[in-house]
Amino acid sequence: MKAIGIAAFLAGAGVVVLLVARTGLPVLLDALSALGVAGLVIVACVHVPVVALLGTAWWMIARGIERPGLRRFVWARAVRDAAAEALPFSQVGGYVIGARALVLSGADASWAGMSTLLDLALEFLGKIPYVLVGLAFLALYRPNQAALSVVAGAAICAVAIVFVLQARPEGWPARITARTVTRWPRVAAMHAKAVAVLREMVSRRAAVRTGIFLHVVCWVVGAAETWLIFRLMHRPIGLAPALVIDSLVGAIRAVLFFVPGAVGIQEGGYVLLCGLFGLPPGAALALSLVRRARDLLIAAPVLLSWQWREGRALPGRFKS
């Protein structure tokens, strides 16, 4: 699996180099200079509340009397995203690091792991209606893409139906937990507890629905961020095209999740979709780079805070 990830990363890096070469570095730099440092700071500041809302969605499905408060969940979610976006080859590892951050905040390991698993599932469910709306707008604004939108929408609906039908403790959660126990025998002792924790969280239907709703809101805000970035680069577009671009690039990233950091995938997706709305490749590549720079700008202090917390936990480990 590591070999596949490295090969995918190298292929993606090659795609980025090719896109930059075809676009022209001066064109790309002109688009970025239009944004400026101040624009990048604005984009980062706008994204911080989104991270807080994502942490709130996680907290909604896993809160309890003896569990970490909302602030800890927001921090753990920030750590998860920072690790997934800023650390090399850590798209999946980011989820583990996020769960670890929750443990550092006082959560039980089984409970932190299962709540992470459920939160990922709800985030996926929240993305489905967002992508469907993006496909609908694509068919509306670009009628020649209507057939593709219908086929893709039908496929997404079929996947969603199967996913929802299996979203019970005896379905995919039990199978994933069983595979984890098989691969890591050390957690076998926590298996029964993990399943019980997952059953408890899934049984809170109102909390689950709220979690899905909050994730949908966060996805929609992502379209607003795309709209804002283009305006700051003096390339204004409508909110509907921004939603199409953001939702479908997100769908592409989800399908090709095994590519570390979606290197090349994100850039190619932006160039393709922005081109449908008359935006030049330079602006599309600049959008991708701005999003990556935004993630790094937020990730730096977050990862430093995580390492500081890990350092504080070390003396306790040695004493035990």
pLDDT per position as a tens digit, 3-37: 676 777 778 788 888 888 888 888 888 888 888 88
Tokens representing residue 294 in the block = 């935004």
Tokens representing residue 95 in the block = 């989820």
Q: Is the predicted pLDDT of residue 78 greater than 90, yes or no?
A: yes
* Cα–Cα dist 127/134, whole Å: 10
Q: Between 57 and 148, name the one with better pLDDT.
A: 57
Q: Give the number of other CB atoms < 10 A from CB of residue 172.
A: 16
Tokens representing residue 288 in the block = 């991708």
Question: Lowest mean pLDDT: which of 185-194, 248-257, 275-284?
Answer: 185-194
Q: What is the pLDDT of residues 230-244, one digit of tens each?
A: 999 999 999 999 999
How confident is residue 309, by pLDDT bands cut at 50, 70 and 90?
confident
285 neighbors 27 (Cβ within 8 angstroms): no
Q: Give the number of other CB atoms < 10 A from CB of residue 7.
A: 12
Q: Give the number of other CB atoms < 10 A from CB of residue 49.
A: 11
Tokens representing residue 103 in the block = 């443990």
Q: What is the pLDDT of residues 62-75, one digit of tens each?
A: 876 556 788 999 99
Q: Angle at Cα 140 formed by Cα 139 and Cα 145, nearest 5°?
A: 25
* Start-to-end CA span in the chain (Å): 35
For residue 188, with 0-12 CB atoms within 10 Å meaning exposed, 13-18 middle and 19 or more buried, which class applies?
exposed
Please name the helix (run of DSSP H) or strand (run of DSSP E) that holds residue 317, with its range, or none.
helix 281-319
- In whole numbers, what is the pLDDT of the chain averaged over residues? 82
- Nearest in space to 116 (alpha carbons), one of 94, 140, 136: 94
- pLDDT > 90 in the chain, percent: 32
Question: Lowest mean pLDDT: which of 60-64, 281-285, 293-297?
Answer: 60-64
Q: Is the predicted pLDDT of residue 59 greater than 90, yes or no?
A: yes
How confident is residue 294, by pLDDT bands cut at 50, 70 and 90?
very high
Question: Lowest mean pLDDT: which of 93-107, 175-189, 235-249?
Answer: 175-189
* Cα–Cα dist 122/36, whole Å: 36
Q: Is the predicted pLDDT of residue 185 greater than 70, yes or no?
A: no
Q: What ranges do the domains of the chain cover?
A: 26-308
Question: Lowest mean pLDDT: which of 90-94, 125-129, 131-135, 247-251?
Answer: 90-94
Q: What is the pLDDT of residues 119-171, one digit of tens each?
A: 988 898 889 899 989 888 988 888 887 777 777 777 777 776 666 655 555 55
